[in-house]
Structure 1
Amino acid sequence: MTIRENLEQWERNYLSIYASHSAESKGRQRFEKQCDIRPVFQRDRDRIIHCKAFRRLKDKTQVFLTPEGDHYRTRLTHTLEVSQNARTIAKALRLNEELVEAIALGHDLGHTPFGHAGERALNKICPLGFEHNLQSVRTVERLEKDGRGLNLTCEVRDGILNHQTIGKPHTLEGKVVRLSDKIAYIHHDMDDAVRAGILKESDVPAEIREVIGSSPGDRLDHFIHDIVTTSMGKNDVIMSEPVEKAMMQMRNFMSVNVYHNPLAKSEEGKAEKLMETLYEHFMKHIDSLPEEFLNLLSEGEAREQVVCDYVGAMTDRFAIATYNEIYIPKSWSL
């Protein structure tokens, strides 16, 4: 037996009866010869970590736009925190850690610069619309590897597509990531809001603190323990009713006090305008796109989609630099 086959046998012997087994994957869009060392979900994880879209996450906004402090979360650190939460839950439930890790690391690859402000801007100005979960799937299926995509397994692509609240993943591993995404941003967005001086822990309503704790760390620990104990032995990944209710209350509290806070979001209007301006510019100057995007056009992709692909893939820093290059006059020098 190869190393991969031994690992697949270990999954059969050890993982939960409800887990996704590598050897039973529904496969890839294009056939590939199996690796003799790595099972399929491990290969997917490795492909995601090594792709360009993953590296760009380090310079994309999570909540606070282009923060000057060293310790605010970025889209990359959010992704890593989601992955760690998901692996902890999956290990406790004897689910497939490599599948949850691949889904978690890939779930936000299609996010725009400037967080949800950038997403709103492209969704508004592009007639085809823009949703980051759909763009994440498009990134791994079409945009990476010069248009060839990463050729990931069906299970990983399904988890990426369905990681949002309204999503319905077809695997328990996908459900783990969907919940891990929520508890990660509730944890770190509150932590960042306290760091920024926008909120104090005492601002969190007492009825929420009594159920899920009085600090970001306490809440994260409570969420993970509740998911594990409530889901153990079930063909589902869920929270207990009191904790789920408290989580929703905490999300609503964060929405009012952070996500729509005028101080925290004072620059988002500018970011949206910048994104709309870049989109309009490249629609008019389509030939100035890099060759890999022009190739998509020559293969029949819609002009609007390809411009969205390019602008949406930018980091915060590159989007600002591109805008300055196009629209801000340069100082005269000899």
Structure 2
Amino acid sequence: MNIRKQYEELEEKILSPMATLSKNSLGRQNYEEKCSIRTDFQRDRDRVIHSKAFRRLKHKTQVFIAPEGDHYRTRLTHTLEVSQIARTISRAIRLNEDLTEAIALGHDLGHTPFGHTGEKVLNDITSCGFKHNEQSLRVVDCIEGGGGLNLTYEVRDGILCHCGNLEAKTNEGKVVKLADKIAYINHDIDDAMRGGIITLDDLPKECLNVLGNTHSQRINSMIKSVIDYALKFGEIKLSGEVGEATWELREFMFKNVYIGSSAKKEEEKAVHCIKELFKYYMEKPEKMPTEFYERIRKWGVERVVCDYIAGMTDRYALSEYINLFVPLPWGKIY
């Protein structure tokens, strides 16, 4: 009995014409025999979950650098919230939930230590530039496991196009792009309020009147708006008064939390840490782990150093900085 084929037949029966069918995937970069149990998109999801890059997300910054509280989001919890929101939308409009989940779980695999601060400094100091979505694709194509995960075209496209002006080729990818924004706007409000940076009274009243006063109400309003629009017009979009309120709330967060708030007071130190590590490994690439050093012949020293640093967790980057640049006591003290 081929369970995969049964799933593929089931998809044809229950999924919307807007959905991407597993059997119609454009395939992988390198040919593989299909699994008898899982569809191609289910296999991709599992490969992401079992990757080292996915596990490292638990120690990477979302907004707050090295927060002491246990309840602040990390890049991993952000990823899980994006996945949950995206799956809810996809299920409601009968898209391919497995494809949606695979994209969502993989979308931030290439994020740097110290969040967007790390991304910006690597982009500034490297001649090749750096964008976390492009690095996420590079992780699944080249780095993870020494040769990449060999994911399907649709998952790779969704990972690359989850931010910026790029538009995914699939509706599932478009859902993840919106879910990413819905997730971070709302959980960053929650974290900023927990950290005493803003209060509920600081949030724009006109936005709350449309979206709701609580975390769950706001997320629910945004999700329902996306679902209603898709069912009515066959397009993935967050529009109308809910869309306007959402983008206004996002602008508020940039002005009051993401730029210049006390949440960013450690940024200069993080920038210094990344710059010094980059300079050190550019001068002494042999000090990188062997698996990275051996890639220099193929990709060049700058690209490999960038890969190595981008893959670090916050705490590993700090540990490396201390080991390399901070003098430690020697011998016994009497």
TM-score (norm 1): 0.98
> CA shift at 1:286, angstroms?
0.6
Alignment map for 1:232-251 (pairs within 5 Å): 232-251=231-250
Give distance in 2, aligned partners of 1:261 and 1:219: 25
CA shift, 1:145, in A, is 1.0
Contact 1:60 1:315 in 2 (8 A): yes
Gaps of 5+ in 1: none
Counterpart secondary structure, 2:264: coil
Question: Identity of counterpart residues, as a percentage?
Answer: 52
Q: Confirm or deny: 8 A CA contact 1:231 1:239 kept in the other structure.
A: no
Measure the CA separation in 1 of the matches of 2:31 and 2:38: 16
The alignment's TM-score, normalised by the length of structure 2, stands at 0.98
Q: Provide the residue aligned with 1:125 in structure 2.
A: 125
* C-alpha distance in 1 between matches for 2:238 and 2:164: 14
Which deviates more, 61-70 or 208-217?
208-217
Structure 2 residue runs of 5 or longer lacking an equivalent are none
Pick from 302, 308, 311: which aligns with 2:309?
311
Q: Write the distance in 2 (CA, Å) between the matches of 1:12 and 1:165.
A: 32
Please state how far the C-alpha of 1:296 moved relative to its aligned partner: 1.3
User: Corresponding residue for 1:332?
Assistant: 330
Secondary structure in 1 matching 2:145: coil
Please tell me whether the aligned partners of residues 197 and 263 of structure 2 are also in contact (alpha carbons under 8 angstroms). Answer: yes
CA distance in 2, matches of 1:93, 1:241: 19
* Contact 1:165–1:178 under 8 Å retained in 2: no
**Structure 1 stretches of at least 4 aligned residues deviating more than 3 Å after TM superposition:** none
* Number of equivalenced pairs: 332
Q: Which residue of 2 aligns with 1:149?
A: 148
Q: Is the 8 A contact 2:89 2:226 kept in 1?
A: yes
Distance in 2 between residues matched to 1:234 and 1:226, nearest whole Å: 12
Cα shift readout 1:147-205 (whole Å, capped 9, x = no counterpart): x1000000000000000042200000000000000000011000000100111111111
Contact map agreement 2:197 2:261 (CA 8 A) in 1: no
State the alpha-carbon separation in 2 of the partners of residues 145 and 240 from structure 1: 41
Query: Pairwise mapping of residues 181-200 of structure 1 onto structure 2 (< 5 A)?
Result: 181-200=180-199
* Counterpart residue number, 1:275: 274
Taking only aligned residues, the RMSD between alpha carbons, in angstroms, comes to 0.9
Q: Give runs of aligned pairs for residues 282-297 of structure 1, distance below 5 A.
A: 282-297=281-296
Q: Which one is further off, 205-214 or 305-314?
A: 205-214
Residues 46-72 of structure 1, C-alpha deviations (whole Å, 9 max, x = no match) = 000000100000000000000000000
